[in-house]
Amino acid sequence: MADDKQDNPEKKDSPQGAVNINASTPQRHNHPLLPGVTDASPPRFVSWDEIQAAAAGQATKMFLAHEVAVDQEFRLDRAAPAAGSVEQRVRETMHNAFWDLLREKLAADPPNYDQALVLLDDIKQNLCDCLLAHHSRLKVEIEEVLDKEHIRQQVLNNSLDFKFYADFVVNMISKLCAPIRDDNVRQLREETDVVNLFRKILELLDLMKLDIANFTISVFKTDITMKSIQLEKTEFKKYLTVQTENGVDGLENTKKWLLKHHTEPTPSSNWYKILGKSYIDLLDWPADCTNYPETVMMDRTRFTNIGAELHKLAIVASVVLVAADSSQGALQVIPDAKLKIKALALEAVKDTALSDIESCLTPLAEKVVVETTEAMKKTSVEPLNGDRQSILYHTILQVKDPSQRIRQLVYNRMREFIQSVIAMDATRSKQIPGGLSWMHSELMALSARIVLLVKHNRDVFWEFYCQIFAEQDAVLSGHQSEGKEAAQDDGKVEQG
């Protein structure tokens, strides 16, 4: 039976939940399936976890590439557990236990260097990870000085100088690290406790690897963006294929989203405008709505956040306009006072959720009343009396309501401006909405964020959008033709 098992790979016990990727290969043949290609022997088994891990790996690549493409400030950061969490306490306990054990082993008589050898080898690998292509000489030096066998011989001869290796590593780090880490290197040189020194060395090496990764991303950002476009296209087509095979329209929500503004035959040159209106709709998409367009799902949070920021800017502008109206021209005469009120409003809404905006308007209204009154005192305008101060105060509180007249007007103007920026020719400039020129920098910064999202999304999915628009045009044109024919037939009947 044992011989049978060896001669027939199919009879091998496969892991539970595993998939034999050679299962469809006819095992009765002794010749390869393709001339010149040898059979895989023995057949390889892949567990479901491995398949999921591979899929997750591809998704992670796509996600990271997408993040780099649409986030101008993208950078990798150290993953850290929440302060005070169980994970943080467990991690700190384990780390402290490791270093306490190292200290105990080094202090033994004779010293036990087993853990230290593992640590030095780990540091060697980390140093090599920080090397760039042109660091060939430094790599040779690291390999020679931190040679595992040489260090092991020193341990056997009881001649290991742990401090020597610490100094070597610190000097090497000083050659490799970015200037921003100079203070960390200085702290390493000042550390006299060997165990603490090696602990800080590992922490700094982790930071250096992040620095190098972020530097590499910044250098190759354009290439990563281009690869992201192709990668997302490829993966989305695979998604559509799977959906189609299961009888599902993978673009159902996307079609509903786009066709809301495509109600009559439209020249292809105007499809950008339709798409621009559709993108703007995403800024106010209900949070509890489940039919979000498939093609923008990966950026749903970003569009939602930009929409919230736009509402906040509308609130800020509304507060300033209300104050300016109450000041009877004083804020126009003293522009610094107007800018101060704007700064107060921006600070008030900055870290406040849109759903909780009322909580910041009360203290803000009090400050705005004071600033407006002070500005009026500096001009020939009569300062606000008690009643007028109360009116200004309560009008500012009313701005919490999206349907408040001034806020709604300002929001619509800002929304139209961003929509025009999305659809405009890059060679043409665009005028800030009338009466809001003092919000120029904030509006342009927000516009830049959404333009970046829109451009990348168009680059990836434009061919799908064109297909949807073309199909809709065909349907609409057909209906119009039918309508004309029916009208002509009715005319003939009447004439008859």
Contacts by residues 195-199 (CB-CB < 8 Å, ≥ 24 positions apart)? 195/99, 195/102, 195/103, 195/106, 197/166, 197/170, 198/102, 198/119, 198/123, 198/166, 199/99
Tell me the percentage of the chain whose pLDDT exceeds 70: 83
Which two tokens mark 265?
Answer: 């035959």
| Sequence-separated (6 or more) residues with CB below 8 Å from residue 141 | 172
For residue 158, what pLDDT band results from cuts at 50, 70 and 90?
confident
**Predicted pLDDT at 481:** 52
Rounded Cα–Cα distance for residues 256 and 150 (Å): 69
Mean pLDDT of 302-327: 94
Predicted pLDDT at 28: 37
Mean pLDDT of 320-342: 89
Establish how many alpha carbons lie within 13 A of residue 328's alpha carbon, considering only the half-sphere containing its beta carbon.
13
Distance CA 283, CA 461 (A): 19
Spatial distance between the Cα atoms of 284 and 304, rounded to a whole number of angstroms:
7
d(CA 173, CA 76): 20
Q: What confidence score (pLDDT) does residue 425 get?
A: 52
Cβ atoms of 39 and 25 within 8 Å: the answer is yes
Identity of the highest mean pLDDT range in 311-315, 428-432, 473-477? 311-315
Question: How many whole angstroms separate alpha carbon 494 and alpha carbon 178?
Answer: 87
Q: Which residues pair with 45 in a beta bridge?
A: 20
pLDDT tens digits, one per residue of 425-444: 554 567 788 888 899 999 99
Burial of 113 (C-beta count, 10 Å sphere; 0-12/13-18/19+)? buried
Model pLDDT, residue 480: 55
Whether the per-residue pLDDT at 40 is higher than 50: the answer is no
Mean pLDDT across 304-329: 94
Rg of the chain over Cα atoms, rounded to whole angstroms, equals: 33
Q: Among positive and negative, which fits the CA dihedral 330, 334, 335, 336?
A: negative
For the whole model, what pTM was predicted? Answer: 0.69
- Grade residue 404 by pLDDT with cuts at 50, 70 and 90: very high
What is d(CA 26, CA 30) in angstroms, rounded to the nearest whole number?
9
Q: Say what the pLDDT of residue 451 is.
A: 92
Average pLDDT in the 120-129 region?
A: 92
Residue 429: its pLDDT value, please? Answer: 63
More confidently predicted of 479 and 475:
475
pLDDT band of 413, cuts 50, 70, 90: very high
- Is the model's pLDDT at 23 over the cut of 80? no
Whether 173 and 211 have beta carbons less than 8 Å apart is answered as no
Model pLDDT for residues 162-215, shown as the tens digit of each residue: 788 889 999 999 999 888 899 999 999 999 898 899 899 999 999 998 888 888
Residues with Cβ within 8 Å of 218's Cβ and at least 6 positions away in sequence, in order, are none
Separation of alpha carbons 379 and 377, rounded Å: 5
For the chain, give the mean pLDDT.
82
The more confident residue out of 62 and 37 is 62
What CA–CA distance (Å, rounded) separates 259 from 264? 10
